[in-house]
Amino acid sequence: MRYSVLLVFLAASLGSCSRYQYMTLNSSQLTKNDQHQLVFENDTIRLTYDFNGANGPISVNVYNKTNQPLYVNWKKSALIRNEHALSYYDKDAYFWGSSSGYAYHFGNSRGALGSFTGSASNFSGTVALPEGMAFVPPGSSVSKGLALLTQSGPVVADMPDSIAEQQAKVGYDQFVVKYRKGAYSAETSPVRFRSYLTFAIGANSPLEFSQSNEFFVEEALDTKNPPEEFPLYQQRGDKFFVKYHVEQ
């Protein structure tokens, strides 16, 4: 039985392999700041989108530029891709973090040396929210993680063998990484989507309005190297990566 399980494991290992795609996002409507986050701005709001990380985590910072209260209605906001909408509303707010503390214990009168002690802990959980609204006071901002881009469907770009493989030497030992590169426009991009946000402004009988922004993948790098072995991937607001499997 043990040998059978081993053979099945080896067959599965030989049958597929992991690859990675590192993608860069752009938008014809938005600009990029110093952190390469995508920014929309008008007289009322400033929206700053960040996608950095595995599977395209979408987060947004909403800044209220007015002197009136601003509300974000997450129940009426969504990621829209290929005519399908993925709601940004989640009744649970997730939180996580860590804490640590240190203390110094003084020595006694007999000459014993003092010592340091430390402790650390991690915590996480959820908080139930009664409403799907966020309040943004005048001249302030709120940030929210919205969704993963991969929740809207596959985001792997087709990289046929006809695309020439490129090489890059990195590090002091001139380590060679191999990859294929695809470049796209807004019309030819394999991944296009919209972020639709609904707002209300004003204290009494607030006026509701919406803002829709379009995004597309303008570059994809395909390689077998994970992030820690692929220095061409940078921690920037317009970049994310996905891991996928191919049959050998």
Contact assessment for residue 14 and residue 8, using Cβ atoms and an 8 Å cutoff: no
Question: What are the tens digits of pLDDT across the range 74-96?
Answer: 999 999 999 999 999 977 654 44
Lowest mean pLDDT of 77-91, 117-131, 178-192, 219-233, name the range. Answer: 117-131
The two tokens of residue 59 are 């987060």
Contact assessment for residue 153 and residue 81, using Cβ atoms and an 8 Å cutoff: yes
pLDDT for 174 equals 77
3-state secondary structure of 7: helix
Indicate whether 5 pLDDT > 50: no
Q: State the Cα–Cα distance between residues 100 and 105, nearest whole angstrom.
A: 17
Q: State the Cα–Cα distance between residues 99 and 108, nearest whole angstrom.
A: 30
Q: State the Cα–Cα distance between residues 54 and 227, nearest whole angstrom.
A: 10
The two tokens of residue 43 are 């007289």
Residues in CB range of 190: below 8 A, 6 or more apart: 155, 157, 158, 182, 184, 217, 220
Q: Give the percent of the chain with pLDDT over 90.
A: 67
C-alpha torsion sign, points 202, 61, 23, 55: negative
Domain ranges of the chain: 16-94+131-247
The two tokens of residue 224 are 């077998």
Residue with tokens 């309005």: 209
Lowest mean pLDDT of 12-21, 123-132, 194-203, name the range. Answer: 123-132
pLDDT, average across residues 135-152: 95
Question: What are the tens digits of pLDDT across the range 145-161?
Answer: 999 999 999 999 999 88
- The pTM (predicted TM-score) of the whole model is 0.78
Provide the CB-side half-sphere exposure for 148 (13 A, CA).
10
